[in-house]
Amino acid sequence: MHKFWLGLVRNYIRLGLFFYYKKIKVIGRENIPKKGAVLFVSNHQNALIDPLVIGTTNRRNTHFLTRAGVFKKKVIIKFFHSVQMIPIYRVRDGWQTLSKNKAIFNTCFQLLNENKALVIFPEGGHNLKRSIRSLSKGFTRIIFGALEKHPHLDIQIIPVGLNYNSILEYPGSVSIYYGKPISSKKYWNKNNFSSSVVAIKTEVGNQMKLLTTHIDCTTSYDKVLEQLTHSNADFLDPFATNKQIEALKLTEEVPVNLKNKKSFLYYIFVINSVFPWLLWKNLKSRINQKEFISTFRFGIGISLFPAFYMVQSILICSYFNLKFGISYFSASILIGLILTKTSKNPKDILPK
């Protein structure tokens, strides 16, 4: 029953992402081992959208290590557990909560010993900046702790690069790059834990920098990003964009036109979806962390909008007939899909 539930949720989210994003590119899926213990290590820009993209673009039975802060209400906790999300506690959650990680790590050791797959975001939190931040050693504790407890394991680390041409605006596109597997045993030296941690963090971090746009934050980050945006850099192709960054010669600030023109179809969509659209606009104004804008937009998009169309379809059926109701519902879904797939790629407001 649990397997059926996971399949149902996964396919619904996959369908939702298809409607939400103009384009979803998956590169390197052949690098993911079909069997054995796997740890996906990914950059983290787009809050809860990131694990959804990873979970729906690989065929492994995946568990997700998620910031404990989202595990608040009982209903949410129950749902997250049902879709294999595991809370991980950080200092910002309170020093007294860190002791709970011992049980979490033991759970991870057991899952890896059962040849399952885990996803972790080792940057320690999400951030809109297009750069790989310093990696925390939490993922190394999971790897080496599992190897210490189960010496026969050879955990394959898959570096992941998530690339969005737009996070704040709709509709954007996303590409996900799965890097070549890194054998954890190659870096495990039980007699020198510190050197093992440094070596594997360095290797994984370097691989992640190749798989997503990496602007070194010690340089003029804002100027680099402005010039990339001005030159219409393809943020879905990190290899080309990173080469562009290397060749970039910084000049004075470049004005970037961030206005995204709306099409006629967009206004038809708004008129047809006025109540959930107004609800979204109200909610958006109250989101404090910009990284969560896309998460909430997607959540409302796969729940309230189709529910609203369904209610209106039922009303049309009651006043006219079933054929009219089905036609209206189909047209509403089609308008949303066409809008997503034909709109021009938007540009985000540059994060400072």
Residue 230: pLDDT over 60 = yes
What is the CB neighbour count within 10 angstroms for residue 275?
Answer: 12
pLDDT of residue 126 exceeding 90 = no
Helices 264-272, 322-342: inter-axial angle, 10-degree rounding: 140
User: What is the pTM for the complete model shown?
Assistant: 0.91
Does position 351 have pLDDT exceeding 50, yes or no?
no
Q: How confident is the model at residue 352 (pLDDT cuts 50, 70, 90)?
A: very low
Mean pLDDT in the chain?
Answer: 89
At residue 163, does pLDDT exceed 60?
yes
Residue 95: what pLDDT?
A: 60
- CATH H superfamily, domain 2-211: Glycerol-3-phosphate (1)-acyltransferase (3.40.1130.10)
Q: What is the residue extent of each domain of the chain?
A: 2-211, 215-256, 264-342
pLDDT at 89: 74
Q: What is the mean pLDDT of residues 229-245?
A: 92
- DSSP letter for each residue of 222-282: HHHHHHHHHTT--TT-HHHHHHHHHH----SPPP-----PPPHHHHHHHHHTHHHHHHHHH
- Determine contact, residues 142/64, Cβ cutoff 8 Å: no
Q: How does pLDDT run across 16-55, given as a tens digit for each residue?
A: 999 999 999 999 999 999 999 999 999 999 999 999 999 9
